[in-house]
Amino acid sequence: MKRGILLSSSLLFSFTLLAGEAPIGLLPPASDFDIPRLQKQGTATQLFVDGRPFLALAGELGNNSATSLDYMKPVWPQLAASKLNTVLAGVSWGQIEPAEGQFDFTIVDGIIQQARSHDLHLVLLWFASWKNGLSSYPPPWVKKDFDRFPRAQIAEGAAPWPVLTISEVPRATVKSNLSIELLTPFSDANRDADARAFAALMRHVKQIDGRKHTVIMIQVENEVGMQGDTRDHSPVANRAFAGPVPAELMDYLKRHKDTLIPEFRRVWDAAGSKTSGTWEEVFGKGIATDEIFMAWQFARYVGRVAAAGKAEYPIPMYVNAALPRTSALGDTAVTGREPGVTGYFAVGGPMDDVLDVWRAGAPQIDILSPDAYNDFADWCAKYDRSGNPLFIPESRGGPEGAARMIYTFGRHNAIGYSPMGIERAAAPDPDLTAAYDLIAQLASLISEHQGNGTMSAVMLRSPSDPPQKVPVGKYTLEAAFITPRRIAGEPPPQGNRTPAAAIFIAAGPDEYYAAGSGLTVSFAPNTPGPPLAGLATVEEGVFVKGRWVPGRRLEGDDSDEGQFLMLGSKKTIQHFTLYRYR
C-alpha cells in the first residue's frame, strides 16, 4: 500500500516538476543525505548544500523585516544585486503561533518562496524565548500567563534594565527580588512550549523545502543570556544553584579535561578541580560561577529546543553570542569582569570561554557564533578553536565588512560572514558587493583548500598597522598596507585609507592565487633550499564558473619592478608563480 502511494506521488512529483513548482506535501520524503549538513575537511568544517561545499556570502535583515511579505518585496532585488547568496531572516514565535497549538506559516512560506524566486538561500533565526537577553518574541498567550510561564528574577541590590548600560548614571538598585521580561531558563513549561513551536516550524520547513534546500541553517534563539544580574535569582533558580552540579556536566568535564578552554579550566582548577559538589564548591564563589551556572541552564534549554527541531529536520543549527565591547579580551566574566559595567553582556550566553559548558549542555548545537562588531580578529581567533567552526552571523558592512569577509574565509576556514542590517543601505554596498563577488569567484578553490594549511589571509585596518606575515605552503608571505606610489601617467595617488585584506591560496608548490586589495606582498621561502624568492610570473584575471580566465600580465610598474605583488585599491585576483635563488 505505502509503496504504491510513494510511487504514484513521485510520478506525480516528476510531472509537476516538469510543470514547474511542486505543490506542498506531495513530495516524497527527503533523504537525510542530501539535506544541508556539516562535513569535516582537515581542520575545517564545511557546510554542504545539495551535496557540495557551500560558502555563505550572507547578510542579516533587520529584526522584523521578514515579518511582512510586502515590506520584503522591494528588498529582494536589492539583495540579489549585491551578490550575496544567503539571507539571515528572523522568524517570530509570536507570529507563527498566535494561539496555543495553532500555527500559521503563511509568512514563512512567503519568505521562502520570495528568496527562492531570487535564487537566494536562507538562514532562519528562531526568535522565540530569548532575544538579546530578554523575551520580546514569545506570543502574548505565553507573556500574559506568567504563573505557567515564569520569569527570571534579579536579586535585591541588582540594577534593573535599562539603567544597566549607562554606567555613568548611579545604578538604582532593587529592594527585593524583581521579575524581569525574561522567560526563566529554569522552567520546563517555557522550554517545552518553545520546543513544540520550533518542532512545528522545522516539520513545516522540511515539508515545503526538504528537497529544495532554500533554508540551509537555523539559528536557535538570539544572543541569549541574563540581563541585570549575574544569575537568575528566582526561587527555582536559587534551588538549582544550591544543588549539586549535574553529573552530565561533570562527566563531560572529566572526559575532556585535557582539551578544555584554558580560561575555563583555570577557574575549575583554582577551585580545586573537584568532580562533585555544589556550583560554588566545584567552581568557587564569584560571578564566574554564576556565569557557568547560567551557561549550563541556557545550554540545556536551547539544546532541548534544538533537539525537538532536529528530530523533524536535522539541518545545521547554531547559537549566536552577544560580545562585550571592551577590547581587553582576557577579562571575561569567567575571569572576573562585572557584567553591565563594560556595556551590553548577556550572562550565560554562548561565550567562547564557556564553550565547553555549551557543548556539554547542547550537543545538538553545531556551532557557537560570535556577533563580532568590535575587536574582530580577536573574536575570530577565540571562536575558531576547540574544533568550533566559524560562522559570523552579525558584523559590520562597508569597507570594514568587505575586509573582514575576505579575512574570515581565508584565515579561519569560515562557513559564512554576514553584516547586520543588510537591507538598511539604500543601494547595494559597493565594497561588500565587490567582496561577495571575489569570494564567489574563488568559492570552489577556497572550499578545496579549507582546512589543509594551503590557504591563509591577512587584514590590515589602517596604514599604521604593522605588516603581517603568514606561512602559506612553502613560502611565508609578508603583507604591508600599500603606500601610494607615483605611477607614470596616473593621477597622484590619494593614499588608501580603507581596510586592506587579501586571501592567499597555494595552488601548487610555487603557484599561488591572491585576492583582495590595498596591500603589497613579498615572499620568503620557509623550507630548506635557495634562501631568496622572486616573482616568476604574475597575471590578473577572473574565475568564470571556477575556470581561471587571465587578463593582463603584470610586471614593471604593476609589481614594483618584480619586488612585490601589488593589490591596488580595487579588489582583484592575481595568479602568480614564485621561484627561489641565491
Residue nearest to ligand DGJ according to CB distances in the complex: 223
Interaction between residue 297 and ligand DGJ (CB under 6 A)? no
In angstroms, give the least distance from the CB of 90 to ligand DGJ: 8
In angstroms, give the least distance from the CB of 88 to ligand DGJ: 10
Interaction between residue 394 and ligand DGJ (CB under 6 A)? yes
One character per residue 264-283, x = contact with ligand DGJ (rule: CB under 6 A): --------------------
Interaction between residue 223 and ligand DGJ (CB under 6 A)? yes
Residue 223 vs 353, nearer CB to ligand DGJ = 223
The partner residues of 472 in beta bridges, in order of sequence, read 475
What is the rounded radius of gyration, in angstroms, for the C-alpha atoms of the chain? 26
- Lateral strand order in the sheet of 455-460: 455-460, 500-508, 511-517, 572-581, 532-544, 547-553
Handedness of CA 247, 301, 258, 317 (dihedral sign): positive
In angstroms, give the least distance from the CB of 414 to ligand DGJ: 18
- The answer to whether residues 276 and 282 touch, using CB atoms and an 8 Å cutoff, is yes
Distance CA 26, CA 16 (A): 10
The partner residues of 90 in beta bridges, in order of sequence, read 125
Residue 223 vs 356, nearer CB to ligand DGJ = 223
Q: Which of 132, 187, 369, 559 binds ligand DGJ (CB under 6 A)?
A: 132
Residue 128 vs 442, nearer CB to ligand DGJ = 128
Cα within 13 Å of Cα(117), Cβ side: 14
Q: Is 355 helix (H, G, I), strand (E, B) or coil?
A: helix
- Lateral strand order in the sheet of 37-41: 37-41, 44-49, 52-54
Distance CA 117, CA 281 (A): 57
Q: How many residues contact ligand DGJ, by CB under 6 A?
A: 7
Q: Which of 209, 356, 371, 510 binds ligand DGJ (CB under 6 A)?
A: 371
In angstroms, give the least distance from the CB of 227 to ligand DGJ: 13
Residue 371 vs 400, nearer CB to ligand DGJ = 371
Distance CA 221, CA 320 (A): 8
- The answer to whether residues 298 and 256 touch, using CB atoms and an 8 Å cutoff, is no
In angstroms, give the least distance from the CB of 346 to ligand DGJ: 10
Residue 97 vs 223, nearer CB to ligand DGJ = 223
Interaction between residue 222 and ligand DGJ (CB under 6 A)? yes
Residue 382 vs 571, nearer CB to ligand DGJ = 382
- Residue 400 sits at the vertex; the CA angle it makes with 395 and 405, to the nearest 5 degrees, is 65
In angstroms, give the least distance from the CB of 317 to ligand DGJ: 16
Query: Residue written as cell 516524497?
Result: 28
Residue 223 vs 423, nearer CB to ligand DGJ = 223
Interaction between residue 63 and ligand DGJ (CB under 6 A)? yes
In angstroms, give the least distance from the CB of 49 to ligand DGJ: 24
Residue 544 in grid coordinates: 568564470
Distance CA 383, CA 505 (A): 23
In angstroms, give the least distance from the CB of 166 to ligand DGJ: 17
Residue 319 vs 519, nearer CB to ligand DGJ = 319
Residue 536 in grid coordinates: 616568476
Query: Residue written as cell 575576505?
Result: 406
- Residues contributing to the site for ligand DGJ (CB under 6 A): 63, 132, 222-223, 371, 394, 420
